[in-house]
Amino acid sequence: MKDKNLYERYHRQIILPEFGEAGQQKLMSAKVLVIGAGGLGCPALQYLTAAGVGMIGIVDDDVVSLNNLHRQVLYSVNDIGLSKAERAANVLQQLNPEIKIIAYNERLENQNTLTLLEEFDIIIDGTDNFSTRYMINDASVLLNKPLVYGAISQFEGQVSVFNSQTLKGSDEAVNYRDLFPDPPKDGEVLNCAEAGVLGVLPGIIGTMMANETIKLITGIGEPLIDQLLTYNALNNQVFVLNLSARKETRSLIPKNEAEFLKTDYIWLCSSPVSNAEIDTNVFNNLIEKGNIDVIDVRELHELPEANEFPNIKIPLAQLSNNSSLIRSDTVIAFCQSGKRSLQAAKILSGIFGDSKKVYSLRGGIIEWKKQQQTV
Amino acid sequence: MNIKVILFGKLSDIAGSSVSVNDVADTDGLINALHNNYPAFANTKYLIAVDKRVIKENTSLNNNSIVALLPPFSGG
């Protein structure tokens, strides 16, 4: 290493025989994307920055809150209300000005995910919700990028390395869907805000994620490829499970970019009813896309009439008996104020289950007409 | 036959961190027995591992097999 300053900065890890200057060079040429700058992201980012990973991307559209500070140790009270991605980048750049840090103060969605992930060698999933986790998993499989996974709940954590070709020679890499093929619905699994979390737990799990990443980059040790590690902070029990790839999993993952863009990850992870309400903008977009049935669930004589868009009139009380009139895969119910249509969405979700997407127009036809006038 | 079942996450909130189940020949039998004893298990997704290997099909169990049931976590 020619630069004396760099040699001194990384000296204590360079002198490790397994690591050496070669290991440091590999870190300095690596590009790692950390998704979520929260409980897991903060410690992972700190250690990857300190270790000298050459380029680090930070994705998060959230801002710092007071109740983050017990576990998201990069932030201080002065950061409350500010962008996590930008604050993290700022703090980390002071820790190590020799590396490139890019803040993406945006939400990861189908449209920006593939383009963003493509720029990096390794993806770190430190997100806090299933829809983003499944989307990141599928994108990593599509792009063939190793995914360092971590997740926590209360006192327990999970860590794994997905989608990295195993050194043992099996041809298919394990991904998250080999563990849990389909996302749980809203409310089935509690998140940190609902279930609570001991602040130090994401510190431990996030640090383990940084460790797995450094092992992957430098080729030392045995990363958790084809394995899932669980850790319990209360009794220090560690449990390592062996995983295998399954043929069936492939059919659950979008086959190409076009399919990926069409997959509705938010809907996949929402209970039909809790996510059923849509606003007038989404309503108009869905109508424009076509291939939907719009149902007026008001009584037949009710005003104002809705003749601006095609709709089928089935009063709420008759909905169950007339569900066969609904043919499209997407259904939107509306009424006067949005109350009866929400009931209608519940009834239709009960009838159609996962076979149709069912929505209710928030604010009803009254709100919709009002919005059209202001446009 | 005595099978030890280690529980994680929400499942351990329901039934404690481990339970023993007697007289079941395979994982289907074991899961049936657990759901009878703990109906709340039915509301949770989880993966099943037998002797630390994740399985997806019904798997026969030996005396002293250790089974782990692990729900997904979303927190970050």
Please state the rounded mean pLDDT for residues A266-271: 67
Domain A4-267, CATH among 2.30.40.10, 3.40.50.460, 3.40.50.720, 3.40.190.10: 3.40.50.720
Mean pLDDT of A260-287: 78
The pLDDT tens digits of the residues spanning A68-92 come to: 999 999 999 999 999 999 999 999 9
Report the residue of A128, A177, A179, A185 to disrupt the B interface, i.e. the one with the largest count of B CBs within 10 Å: A179
pLDDT of residue A272 exceeding 50, the answer is: no
Q: Contacts for A213-216 with beta carbons within 8 Å, 24 or more apart?
A: A213/A32, A213/A44, A213/A48, A213/A53, A213/A122, A213/A124, A213/A148, A214/A27, A214/A47, A214/A48, A214/A51, A216/A122, A216/A146, A216/A148, A216/A161, A216/A164
Give the per-residue pLDDT at B64.
86
Strand A292-296 to A312-313 pairing:
parallel
Confidence of residue A241 (pLDDT cuts 50, 70, 90): very high
Mean pLDDT of A13-30: 97
At B7-66, the pLDDT tens digits run 999 999 999 999 999 989 999 999 999 999 999 998 889 999 999 999 999 999 998 899
- Find out if CATH 3.40.250.10 is the number for domain A272-374: yes
Residue A291, SS3 per DSSP: coil
A119 close to A31: Cβ distance less than 8 angstroms? yes
Reported as a single tens digit per residue, the pLDDT across A144-190 is 999 999 999 999 999 999 999 754 455 679 999 999 998 887 667 76
> Span A55-59, mean pLDDT?
98
Minimal C-alpha gap between B23 and chain A (Å): 25
* Closest chain B C-alpha to A297 CA, distance in angstroms: 32
| Set of chain A residues whose Cβ sits within 8 Å of the Cβ of B76 | 36, 38-41, 125-128, 150-152, 192, 202
Rounded to whole angstroms, the Cα distance separating A299 from A335 reads 9
- Percent above pLDDT 70 for chain A: 94
The pLDDT assigned to A223 comes to 97
Q: Give the rounded percent of residues in chain A with a pLDDT score beyond 90.
A: 69
Termini Cα distance of chain A: 62
Q: Name all domains of chain B by residue range, CATH numbers in brackets.
A: 2-70 (3.10.20.30)
For residue B16, which residues of chain A lie inside 8 Å, CB to CB? none
A203 touches B at CB < 8 Å: no
Mean pLDDT, all residues of chain A:
91
Give pLDDT, residue A4: 86
A246 vs B56: CB contact, 8 Å cut-off? Answer: yes
Domain ranges within chain A, ordered by starting residue: 4-267, 272-374
Report, as an integer, the average pLDDT of A200-218. 98
